[in-house]
Amino acid sequence: MYLSRLSLCVIFVLLCSLESRANLNDDAPLTKLGSKTGPSLKFFYCYSCGYRKVFEDYVNILRQKYPELQIDGENYNPPGANMMLAKGLGIAKILVIVLIFSKINIFQWIGQPQPFWWQWCMDNRLYSCVMLFFACNAAEGYLISSGAFEIHFNDVPIWSKLETGRIPQPPELFQIIDTHMQMIFPEMEAGKIGLNK
């Protein structure tokens, strides 16, 4: 009986980890707004900070002024061990929830007495799982929250919220883009290359 529950739990955890790996590519999909070749602008933003909406607003503004500019955006993954810790916490959360719902006493398997808190989790399965789910989600969000809003023009960093502490105002961004466009196309004048000034 315990062996069948354990095997179901292991299968469930494996499926969840495979799904999370598949979702790594889908977490923050690239948003391509132009298929033309030419200068490109790439945004790296903190999805968990709510900067996706800011990115979409900037895309709409930039598309009006620079229709030939290829604009991409993706989630900025935090450096270091934070991402690995967040992934490990997510897998551990699912595993513990499955163990609680299947009433498996893991302490019995390792030959230890069952602690009071595990018995409480077994007696209050739904409440403990909901509490565990939200607490772990809050911890995961804190670990992956970077506060980033980085902008690269042709793979050259032109703005970093991590360094400046703020998001650029549209006129500032227009001026930066215009300066870089003048460096790429020094003969560019208003209306030449098709870029709206």
Q: Running DSSP on this structure, what letter comes out for residue 152?
A: E
**Which one of 1.10.760.10, 3.60.40.10, 3.40.630.10, 3.40.30.10 gives the CATH number of domain 37-76+147-186?**
3.40.30.10
Q: What are the helix (H) ranges across 25-124?
A: 51-65, 82-101, 106-109, 116-123
Q: Two tokens at 8? A: 């179901």
**pLDDT tens digit sequence for 19-68:** 655 544 444 444 444 344 678 889 998 887 888 899 999 999 998 988 88
Angstrom CA distances, 95 to 99, 102, 171, stand at: 6, 11, 49
pLDDT at 69 over 90: no
**pLDDT tens digit sequence for 132-179:** 999 999 998 888 888 888 999 888 899 889 888 898 898 998 999 888
Percent of the chain clearing pLDDT 90 (strictly above)? 18
136 in Cβ contact with 95 (< 8 Å): no
Phi, psi (deg, nearest 5) at residue 87 = -65, -45
Query: Helices 116-123 and 125-144: crossing angle, nearest 10°?
Result: 110
Half-sphere exposure of 93 (CA within 13 A, CB side): 20
pLDDT at 181 over 70: yes
Describe the chain by its helix, strand, coil percentages, rounded to 5: 55, 10, 30
Percent of the chain clearing pLDDT 70 (strictly above)? 75
Q: What is the average per-residue pLDDT within 5-27?
A: 56
pLDDT at 14 over 70: no
For the chain, the structural domain boundaries read: 37-76+147-186, 79-145
